[in-house]
Structure 1
Amino acid sequence: MSSDPSTPEPARPLSATVYTTDAAPAHQRLAYWRAALSRTFAPVAISVPDEVCSGTIRTSRLGHLRVATVEGDPLWARRTPQLIAGGDGAYLAVKLLARGVAAFRQDAREVQLGPGEIVFLDMARPLRMEFPHPFQTKSLVVPRRLLGLEESDLRQLTATAIRPDTVSGSLLAPFLTQLVDNADTYPSATAEALARHVVDLLTVLVEERLHQEGRDAPSPARVMLARIQQFIDRHLADPDLTPEAIARANRISVRYLHKLFQAEDITVSRWIQRRRLQECRRELARREAAGRTIAAVARRWGFTSPAHFSRVFRNVYGMSPVEWRESAARAPRVPVLPSGVSAVPEVAASY
């Protein structure tokens, strides 16, 4: 235990890290609790009634993700611009409220949560959290880049509740609970495989949620954008898939094409590259594709230069295509997934 009780140390030497305010003198518990929460998620400012607080955090790694169970007394926490400027917060927290009530405010929205409900929170933008009664949460902390979401998509997701009576909630809540409760018991290879499939599941659920919102009131521009994105998907293998070719095939101007994608905070070329990378990444993870060379996979999805493909793959996913393929080959073939989930993409991100 550190000589400074305000600096959290694990309460006992387990594969999971446990922080508890019982480890600190009463007059230092607030500082200890703030430091423990900041280490687990991202730096936060907190306040508690009458400066009295108690709580416990149990946190574990799951591959390159992090899970945590937090329970404690009433609490108010904030991510301020000053704390965000420190740079330690490029994560998305998927938070299940297991006990108590809570309110979250982000991106000019505020949502009230009850037990069994889930919220997405972006730790890279200002955030306010309120727990007016004793509470327990179970959280999955995911590097933002792994979900491949644009800023406009993130802003649609944050501070909106996923209810347990929805398809997303009925799948995600029990799965998240099981993962958080058992993360420290999985062998390393199983944990890495689960982490990849967790990101797959989140990607599927997020895309379903975003598309559902888009279907509520589809504008002509959104309908056209969806049609063009489908066109791009059908022609990813064509190395001559350019904005000019896309505009010509869809009988619109190049200027209007760029305007459609500008509304999504992405360029046409970047969208094409992202989709090609996703397909290459998934193919490289498939055992039945082990006989294909990296260059062949890259060419199949429209990359004409293997060197360029390897460079952009590493820039986006943090490892080379060879390293990604080797990592996927070491993972167990059969992952643990929620009952009823039988068809999610094989791999959604690298670590």
Structure 2
Amino acid sequence: MLVETVFRSEDVPAADRFECWRELMSRSYAPMELRSDHADDFRAHQRLIGLGAVSVWPGEFQPLVFRRTPKLIRQSDPEVYQLTLVLKGSGRLVLGRQEATCDAYEFHSNDSSRPSETWTGRERTGIVGVELPKAQLPLQRGRADQAIGRRMSAKEGVGALLAQFLTQVTSNTGQYAPDDAPRLGTVLTDLVAALFAHTLGTDTSLTPDTHRRTLPLLIQAFIQQRLHDPDLTPPSIAAAHHISLSYLHRLFQDEGATVASWIRRQRLERARHNLTDPALRTVPIRSIAARWGFTHPSDFSRAFRTAYGLSPRDYRHQATRSTA
């Protein structure tokens, strides 16, 4: 299990809750000023998870204002980038002359070396925060600074891949061993670098090692978002990522699969899930097959039987009986 520290406001007397929260934030992260209209009985729940040099902190709390002032920066600057995935609520960031809003399923970014002020919305806010040392980010010097403060979506592409990684790691830390922490931190750092590079409109800022490690993940995310497209083919995937077809096949050989078999497996898994969904019980099987890129029902039935040992009809019937 990964090592984590947990704060629950209900474990602290009401009058002391906000002060305890403030001390935790200033001790665990870049020192900051905090204020809240709910300070008399502040409600918050937060975990701090260490992944090597990277810290991840999922939390939920009442409306707040965070301030990082020039004075606090002079007193202490840990030289970190901060990235926050907003899961619930909204926020607004002022970073020098920049001002940006951030809604649910977007990232906002910050820099511990720059004065800033962040307001969360009027409702409880749910986030997953990330802090990583600037020196650890595998981007060309100065490029990461240009991405700070820009809006970054968590709904598609690299942002969705990073959001998926963060929610998966933080939802169940018990599935990982303590020795996994540095490796997970490396993956997280590479994905943050890839998101920054994507935000800047180019991946040429990435180091060769980071590009090589993240490219298979980015291609898999690209495929998963287009499984419904019957024209999704290895040549179209290679062209979309500006790589040769042979290099694409080589990447998937390292994953232990061919490109076509990996696409088919993902499509079959989505179709299998639909067949067991009570809400889709009346949807024709051929429609479910077409939804996931199978243009010929007979091909779908044959592939499904090979993968799961039953025809799609029998599989749905068995799942329906089990649910009943």
TM-score, L = length of structure 1: 0.55
Confirm whether residue 169 of structure 1 aligns to residue 159 of structure 2.
yes
The whole-number CA distance in structure 1 between the counterparts of 2:96 and 2:14 is 36
Report the 3-state secondary structure (helix = DSSP H, G, I; strand = E; otherwise coil) of the residue aligned with 1:42. Answer: coil
Structure 1 stretches of 5 or more lacking a match? 1-13, 215-225, 230-274, 287-332, 347-351
Confirm whether residue 119 of structure 1 aligns to residue 102 of structure 2.
no
Aligned-CA RMSD value: 3.4
Change (3 A) 1:339 1:180: farther
The whole-number CA distance in structure 2 between the counterparts of 1:29 and 1:114 is 27
Q: Is the 8 A contact 1:102 1:130 kept in 2?
A: yes
Q: 1:136-170 deviations in whole A, cap 9, x for unaligned?
A: 11012111111145674343212222113442222
Report the 3-state secondary structure (helix = DSSP H, G, I; strand = E; otherwise coil) of the residue aligned with 1:142. Answer: strand
The whole-number CA distance in structure 2 between the counterparts of 1:131 and 1:33 is 16
Report the 3-state secondary structure (helix = DSSP H, G, I; strand = E; otherwise coil) of the residue aligned with 1:43. Answer: coil
Counting aligned pairs with the same residue, the percent is 26
Deviates more, 1:191-200 or 1:134-143: 191-200
The whole-number CA distance in structure 2 between the counterparts of 1:184 and 1:39 is 25
Change (3 A) 1:181 1:127: farther
Confirm whether residue 65 of structure 1 aligns to residue 74 of structure 2.
no
Q: Which amino acid aligns with 2:30?
A: A
Change (3 A) 1:32 1:44: same
1:93 paired residue number:
82
Q: Is the 8 A contact 1:117 1:173 kept in 2?
A: no
The whole-number CA distance in structure 2 between the counterparts of 1:141 and 1:99 is 19
1:128 paired residue number:
117
The whole-number CA distance in structure 2 between the counterparts of 1:145 and 1:184 is 29
Change (3 A) 1:127 1:32: same
Change (3 A) 1:185 1:39: farther
Structure 2 stretches of 5 or more lacking a match? 222-247, 255-324
Shift of 1:79: 0.7
Shift of 1:112: 1.1
- Aligned 1:12-31 pairs, distance under 5 A: 15-31=3-19
The whole-number CA distance in structure 1 between the counterparts of 2:198 and 2:39 is 43
Change (3 A) 1:50 1:169: closer
Q: Which amino acid aligns with 2:220?
A: G
Q: 1:51-106 deviations in whole A, cap 9, x for unaligned?
A: 33221211111122111112111111111111111224311111100111111121
Q: Which amino acid aligns with 1:174?
A: Q
- Counterpart pick for 2:134 among 144, 160, 178: 144
Q: Is the 8 A contact 1:37 1:43 kept in 2?
A: yes
2:193 paired residue number:
203
Change (3 A) 1:151 1:105: farther
The whole-number CA distance in structure 2 between the counterparts of 1:155 and 1:123 is 11
- Counterpart pick for 1:37 among 15, 25, 32: 25
Across the two proteins, how many residue pairs are aligned to each other? 219
Change (3 A) 1:124 1:171: same
The whole-number CA distance in structure 2 between the counterparts of 1:31 and 1:73 is 14
- Aligned 1:100-111 pairs, distance under 5 A: 100-111=89-100
TM-score, L = length of structure 2: 0.59
1:194 paired residue number:
184
Confirm whether residue 74 of structure 1 aligns to residue 80 of structure 2.
no
- Aligned 1:251-270 pairs, distance under 5 A: none
The whole-number CA distance in structure 1 between the counterparts of 2:145 and 2:218 is 27
Change (3 A) 1:112 1:54: same
